[in-house]
Amino acid sequence: MSDHAIPPRIAPRGTVLCRLSDIAEEDTKAFVLGDGDWPLRGLLVRTGGSVVGYVNRCPHAGHMLSFRPDKFLTPDRKLILCQSHGALFDKASGRCVGGPCVGESLTRVPVRVEENHVCLAADVDIDALATRYW
């Protein structure tokens, strides 16, 4: 590493993203990790009794899935919807099941529920996951 290299921004395991009660069953919640021009924007999905985390970025064109806070689902709340291009994603796996990127998947953010909080389940390199498309 040279003297001018910028060290990665790491969000440590156990970082609290929200309270579990902040996410209704079969609903979503946005989160932001880091600061500056390129924080990591993500979403949490509470489905089937568990919580899954994803980067808020569609694999089709790199756009955010939603530009409205916490509004990531189809009207029937069964799938995650990319509001830019209409791609549809399974909530539990993040796999695209309809639209322009079928077969691709959302990028996972490792999360776990601990003492009624949703926390990072592992250290997260914010720069490695954060998008620079917007």
Burial zone of 85 (CB within 10 Å; 0-12 exposed, 13-18 middle, 19+ buried): middle
Residue-wise pLDDT tens for the chain (134 aa)?
456 666 778 999 999 999 999 999 999 999 999 887 778 999 999 998 999 999 999 998 888 999 888 899 999 999 999 998 899 999 999 999 999 999 999 999 999 999 999 999 999 999 888 754 44
Number of domains in the chain: 1
Residue 95 lies in a domain: no
Q: In this structure, what token pair is assigned to residue 67? A: 């530009």
Residue 58 lies in a domain: yes
> Is residue 82 within 8 Å of residue 104, measured between CB atoms?
no
Residue 85 lies in a domain: no
Print the domain residue range for 22: 10-70+106-129
Residue 87 lies in a domain: no
Residue 77 lies in a domain: no
- Residue 53's CATH number: 2.102.10.10
Nearest-angstrom CA–CA distance, 102 and 120: 28
Residue 19 lies in a domain: yes
Nearest-angstrom CA–CA distance, 48 and 131: 28
**Which residue shows structure tokens 């003492």?**
115
Residue 63 lies in a domain: yes
Indicate yes or no: pTM above 0.85. yes
